Structure 1
């Protein structure tokens, strides 16, 4: 990993997380920075060696390896072409290093753990814009992270009609 800042972006391949990644690249990234795409899969991963990573998450995966279909099958993650395009463009145009780190479990808890374990200098995430009732029932990942994180959190809001 390069010696610059470690800028995390929570990515679940939804339109709001894609917007958060694009916002980070456009507004926050400087040459020499590291972008860490933090993915949290809600399902428990039970295959062999992955059980070892249930607490610490996967090793840091270079973007080129993550884009390899063999690796995405191994981790049971389907990266969106748009995320790969934005990340690859950042590498080429902004001269940054991009890695992926995958966690399994509760998104709010795992994102807070990622901040400590990697460690991250900041975390950018999208906001799905759940209404008051849905948020009360389902909880808000961004609200949990903002209230429990130990680094600056940037929440990129998406208008209600774009999720």
Structure 2
């Protein structure tokens, strides 16, 4: 007999607006779902409007007028990311799915989601940054591999052959 949704262990899958993220989600669904023992928790980290505006933030003249517009755009992007991820789940016949959009740095948001849901596994995509970009931008997958309190699966999309 299958466990009820509340008894299932969570697999947190980090999602964003990238091809790598969609690949990681699809890969995880193809290899682990549908499952009678796991539920999918999709987590999208939405930046704050002020962080998205960056250096031209609140000190910049006119920033007060720009922030609500940026915030609205970020909300629309988040809704699109979640809807796309849910459609991928539906196409793979996975219906035990919860989606969350959390404002903040993706590294912290994903590790916090692991704790909140007592996740058995965290799945993230790899953007494949080189050493310099990884040093400047930071690697979400690397951070999660070292700080998440569960198994972390980093799914890397194979390079296409020319």
TM-score norm. by structure 1 comes to: 0.71
Aligned residue runs from structure 1 range 11-160, under 5 A: 11-29=15-33, 30-31=35-36, 33-43=38-48, 75-76=75-76, 77-80=78-81, 82-90=84-92, 93-94=93-94, 96-159=95-158
The CA deviation at 1:160 is: 5.6
User: Hey, which bits of structure 1, 4+ residues long, moved more than 3 A?
Assistant: 72-76
Root-mean-square deviation (CA), in Å? 2.7
Instruction: Work out the CA distance in 1 between the residues paired with 2:125 and 2:48.
Output: 20
The CA deviation at 1:120 is: 1.4
Instruction: Work out the CA distance in 2 between the residues paired with 1:109 and 1:154.
Output: 17
8 Å contact kept, 1:44–1:105? no
List gaps (5 residues or longer) in structure 2.
Answer: 51-71
If each structure's helix is expressed as a fraction of its own residues, which one has the higher value? 2
Distance 1:129 1:28, change over 3 A: same
8 Å contact kept, 2:49–2:74? no
Distance 1:23 1:75, change over 3 A: same
Distance 1:160 1:136, change over 3 A: farther
The CA deviation at 1:43 is: 1.7
SS of the aligned residue for 2:122 comes to: strand
SS of the aligned residue for 2:129 comes to: coil
Q: Which protein shows a greater Rg?
A: 2
8 Å contact kept, 2:46–2:74? no
Instruction: Work out the CA distance in 2 between the residues paired with 1:41 and 1:139.
Output: 17
The CA deviation at 1:101 is: 1.2
Instruction: Work out the CA distance in 2 between the residues paired with 1:134 and 1:21.
Output: 23
What is the number of equivalent residue pairs in this alignment?
133
